[in-house]
Amino acid sequence: MKLPVRGLAAALNSSGKFKEKAPEAVVDHLVVGAGVVGLAIAQRLCDKFPSKSTYVVERHSRAGEETSSRNSEVIHSGIYYPADSFKTRLCLRGRELMYQRCRALDIPHRKTGKLIVAKANQRPYIENLHLKALKLQWPPYSDGKLVSSPVLPTALISGDEARAMEPNLSKDISAALWCPETGIVDSHSLMESLEKDILESEAGDLAYTTRVVRLDPYTSRSFAPNADAERGWVVHTVTGNNQGTESDAILARTVINASGLSAPFVLNTLLPQEQRIPMYYARGSYASYKGPGISGISHLIYPCPDTGLNAHAFASLGTHLTLDLNGKIRFGPDIEFLEPPSPDASEENMDYWTRHLIPDDSRLEQMHLAVKQYLPEVVAEGLQPDYVGIRPKLVPPGAGFQDFVFQANYPCQFGGLGVVRESPMISLLGIESPGLTSSLAIAEYVVDDLLSSINSAQ
């Protein structure tokens, strides 16, 4: 019997290596993590609060080195998740914002459309998706010019109609759901555009190869001359490959924890062991393909997820076919949950998942079997390992749907100065798919909803 996968409930500075110290500088907004979500939030902060400083710290040497650069680069339509979830709301709004930004700034993208293909016994699944799409409402902040049209247009088509669009599809495909709003985007160009906006603003800056190693609520113990006048968080950082115990300390009046795969560890720094949030890492492998069975394909093709006994297969959308902007075809991702070295790994082991980023051929046979269900002429010999991504999941395998989580905490909860709703740290947890599509809408929600409501309540 296979044992359940353990989560990793780690925390920064668990060894006590970095000692408390007084902050040497002050910043209004500190964003931890320069993935696409962190950059989008920082860009919006710079735009909305031009007189306040916004710094982004990122442990890698460039933006988007983790989840943001290891995904399918799909602009999702927003069809898969519960109607009242953040994932649906922010995907729908994010899709709108993404296409607007791409058009305005000439960011490479293409609205390819997507076919969700079904065998006879899977038809109820796509019928339910179609009915859900018909009932969806436009999310907050949507362009008023658009709201008279469907937010998520779809069409139920027959297997023959699907094969007229994509002749390589299996004869066993009896129906499909056509989603014309799905597309693809050059995620690196998108992130470069956000970086450019931040650096060209009066208030923004980016610090790469800078990792957060400790976080404390600000207290009068910080020994600053006006200690009692300030509120916020003392964030300790180390730049470069420094392995010593010296860190820099900055007082951040607001912290946005957008560190993706490490986001729970930043928050766990403040929590007792029994309250720490575990992270589950799901490895997804992609394979490139050259060979028969794909001639002329111009749309994304998704199978129906293997729902098993569950009503929805939220862990993975199945091994699907994606295109890049050069016409290259890939299949993936599959899903493989990783086992941590221990439930509360030391700081040295917190990034154990990096050892699983090297693509290999161990998953190709299963991937080929999955793909043949809808593209029967694809041959195993044409598949080659391409790249691997890691999804940040908050629940173990089989746990069902998990929404995005936006958690606000305040220094006063942990012995710091101030009151509730003053100097927040907002942690973004479990930002997996559709995180890329949702990124601009997540920024809008965090800045225009969460921070604005917190500030107005003070």
- pLDDT class for 448, splitting at 50, 70, 90? very high
User: In 243-373, which residue ranges form alpha helices assigned H by DSSP?
Assistant: 263-268, 364-372
Q: Is 3.50.50.60 the CATH classification of the domain at 25-457?
A: yes
**Structural domain spans, the chain:** 25-457
Give residue for tokens 């990792």: 211
| Sequence-ordered list of residues with C-beta below 8 angstroms from that of 203, at least 6 positions apart, any chain | 28, 45, 46, 49, 50, 51, 52, 53, 54
Residue, of 283 and 221, whose pLDDT is higher = 283
Q: What is the pLDDT of residues 34-46, one digit of tens each?
A: 999 999 999 999 9
* Rounded mean pLDDT, 175-197: 99
3-state secondary structure of 323: strand
Task: Please determine, for residue 225, whether its predicted confidence score (pLDDT) is greater than 90.
Answer: no
Task: Please determine, for residue 312, whether its predicted confidence score (pLDDT) is greater than 60.
Answer: no
> pTM (2 decimals)?
0.95
* Rounded mean pLDDT, 303-314: 58
378: nearest Cα among 287, 284, 283, 285: 287
Residue, of 405 and 309, whose pLDDT is higher = 405
Give residue for tokens 């991937």: 367
434 cis-preceded (ω within 30 degrees of 0): yes
- pLDDT class for 327, splitting at 50, 70, 90? very high
d(CA 301, CA 113): 9
* Rounded mean pLDDT, 367-385: 97
pLDDT of residue 310: 41
pLDDT of residue 1: 45
* Rounded mean pLDDT, 279-290: 96
pLDDT of residue 81: 94
Task: Please determine, for residue 427, whether its predicted confidence score (pLDDT) is greater than 60.
Answer: yes
Say if residues 348 and 10 touch (Cβ distance below 8 Å). Answer: no
Rounded percentage of the chain residues whose pLDDT exceeds 90: 82
Task: Please determine, for residue 221, whether its predicted confidence score (pLDDT) is greater than 70.
Answer: no
What angle (nearest 5°) sits at the alpha carbon of residue 321, between those of residues 320 and 324? 130
